């Protein structure tokens, strides 16, 4: 296969979810010239000539426990205003092709397979996808619903870690765009250390926490002590239902709080509350209330409201990550990639401030360009 003809696979964990469906449909739309690549940092000038796989070369597949066909899922997202009207029909062939590459995930209730058997089965699915489609490589990206953090005495690996272990076994770069455990299970440490593959994570930074990573450094740099930082999220859809579980919500909020603690030096007073509002569908409203001290102890308040669609915010970032990890793998880079911390609440090392993370990402682009 020539370099020009090489194709790259993206294997989504949660392939029929809102984020994966939006990314798959969006990639097809951009490749066809139907829409601009809004929100894709890798399509901006600093990433020209870095050797990233073209959007036209990407092939999609994945695991999911749902059986709703991808074209039908896209139609539902269009009805909810997440995808443009008419887009599911315009890219129907691409959605149908991706749907044929989605395999049953797990473990489902009643599944008696051991962790090892599940990892082997998942890895076989990924390897088969890569082989049949004659792909140069496949990047595995977890965009499934948030799972509760496992207990210390839990005898089984959580589902996210089963998929992550399968990615390594199949020889695939891996990104965890969720707060779930993924590669960070202590039981996977030896496999992670010896895999020789690039990986990145955890927990994509798309809305409320993106804004926090911009605002928190402002208070530090202007010597304005933050007394309290509270937040509320109202959301529906699959995420709202998943995060109605207090354990899953706690896993999600840990990343939000970490950004403030890392930047401010300590976690301020206040909590983040997540409320499931099914009527909101895939849309979300996030409200922050920040109490801080000004000169001579004057009490001040900053309030922010973020309204948007998480899947539309996440999809371009997921495509960015897959392309950057594919290129990292092609150039022989291994291990955690702190340069990709720009995309995460809980990155693998690196800075916490968004501006510093962006500079690190630009430097990484230069490194990839030099490797051509």
What count of Cα atoms within 13 Å lies in the side-chain half-sphere of residue 194? 6
Residue 208's pLDDT is: 86
pTM flag (> 0.85): yes
Question: In sequence order, which ranges of the chain are alpha helices (DSSP H)?
Answer: 18-31, 70-79, 87-90, 92-99, 115-132, 159-169, 189-194, 208-221, 237-243, 246-264, 310-330, 354-370
Q: Rounded CA gap, 122 and 106, in Å?
A: 9
**DSSP string of 25-65, one letter each residue:** HHHHHHHTTSS--TT-GGGSGGGTTS-PPPGGGEEEEEEES
Residue 244: pLDDT above 90? no
Give residues with Cβ within 8 angstroms of 345, minimum separation 6: 179, 202, 203, 204, 205, 209, 255, 256, 258, 259
Residue 118's pLDDT is: 98
The secondary structure of 250-299, three-state, reads HHHHHHHHHHHHHHHCCCCECCEEEEECHHHCCEEEEEEEEEEECHHHCE
Give residues with Cβ within 8 angstroms of 302, minimum separation 6: 215, 288, 290, 292
Q: What is the mean pLDDT of residues 191-214?
A: 92
For the ranges 19-28, 142-151, 245-254, 280-289, the maximum mean pLDDT occurs at 19-28
**DSSP string of 5-22, one letter each residue:** T--EEEEEETTTSHHHHH
The dihedrals phi and psi of 140, each to the nearest 5 degrees, come to: -100, 130
Q: What is the pLDDT of residues 50-93, one digit of tens each?
A: 999 999 999 999 999 999 999 999 999 999 999 999 999 999 99
Residue 103: pLDDT above 80? yes
Q: Rounded CA gap, 293 and 50, in Å?
A: 45
Closest to 233 in 3D by CA, of 146, 169, 143? 146
Residue 1's pLDDT is: 43
Q: Residues 310, 189: contact at Cβ < 8 Å?
A: no
Distance of CA 76 to the CA centre of its chain: 21
Q: Residues 60, 19: contact at Cβ < 8 Å?
A: no
Question: Who has greater pLDDT, 29 or 349?
Answer: 29
Residue 282's pLDDT is: 86
Residue 252: pLDDT above 70? no
Proportion of the chain above pLDDT 90, given as a percent: 78
Q: What is the pLDDT of residues 5-18, one digit of tens each?
A: 699 999 999 999 99
**DSSP state for residue 189 in the 8-state scheme:** H
Closest to 245 in 3D by CA, of 176, 157, 149? 149
Q: Is the peptide bond before 107 cis (omega within 30 degrees of 0)?
A: yes
Q: Rounded CA gap, 197 and 202, in Å?
A: 16
Q: What is the pLDDT of residues 301-332, one digit of tens each?
A: 999 999 999 899 999 999 999 999 999 999 99
| Beta partners for residue 103, in sequence order | 63
Confidence at 357, pLDDT banded by 50, 70, 90: very high
Q: What is the pLDDT of residues 118-131, one digit of tens each?
A: 999 999 999 999 99
Closest to 95 in 3D by CA, of 36, 21, 37? 21
Mean residue pLDDT of the chain comes to: 93
């Amino acid at each position: 296969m020539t370099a020009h003809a090489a194709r790259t696979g993206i294997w989504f964990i949660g392939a029929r979810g809102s984020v994966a469906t939006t990314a798959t449909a969006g990639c097809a739309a951009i490749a066809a010239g139907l829409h601009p690549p809004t929100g894709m940092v890798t399509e901006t000038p600093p990433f020209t000539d870095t050797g990233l796989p073209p959007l036209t070369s990407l092939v999609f597949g994945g695991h999911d426990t749902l059986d709703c066909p991808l074209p039908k899922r896209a139609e539902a997202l269009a009805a909810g205003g997440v995808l443009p009207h008419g887009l599911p029909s315009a890219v129907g062939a691409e959605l149908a092709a991706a749907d044929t590459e989605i395999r049953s995930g797990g473990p489902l209730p009643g599944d008696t397979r051991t962790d090892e058997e599940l990892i082997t089965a998942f890895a076989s699915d990924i390897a088969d996808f890569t082989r049949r489609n004659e792909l140069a490589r496949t990047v595995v990206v977890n965009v499934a619903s948030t799972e509760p953090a496992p207990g210390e005495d839990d005898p089984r690996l959580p589902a996210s870690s089963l998929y992550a272990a399968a990615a390594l076994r199949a020889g695939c770069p891996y990104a965890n765009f969720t707060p779930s455990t993924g590669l960070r299970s202590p039981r996977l440490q030896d496999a992670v250390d010896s895999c020789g593959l690039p990986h990145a994570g955890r927990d994509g930074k798309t809305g409320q926490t993106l804004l926090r990573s911009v605002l928190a450094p402002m208070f530090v740099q202007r010597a304005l002590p933050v007394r309290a930082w509270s937040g509320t999220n109202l959301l529906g859809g699959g995420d709202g239902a998943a995060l109605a579980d207090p354990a899953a919500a706690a896993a999600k909020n840990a990343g939000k709080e970490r950004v403030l603690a890392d930047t401010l030096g300590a976690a301020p007073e206040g909590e983040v509350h997540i409320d499931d509002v099914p009527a909101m569908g895939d849309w979300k409203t996030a409200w922050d209330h920040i109490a801080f001290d000004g000169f001579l102890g004057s009490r001040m308040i900053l309030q922010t409201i973020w309204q948007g669609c998480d899947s539309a915010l996440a999809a371009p970032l997921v495509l960015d990550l897959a392309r950057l990890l594919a290129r990292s793998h092609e150039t022989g880079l291994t291990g955690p990639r702190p340069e990709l911390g720009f995309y995460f609440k809980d990155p693998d090392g690196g800075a916490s401030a968004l501006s510093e993370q962006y500079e690190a990402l630009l430097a990484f682009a230069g490194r990839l360009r030099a490797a051509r």
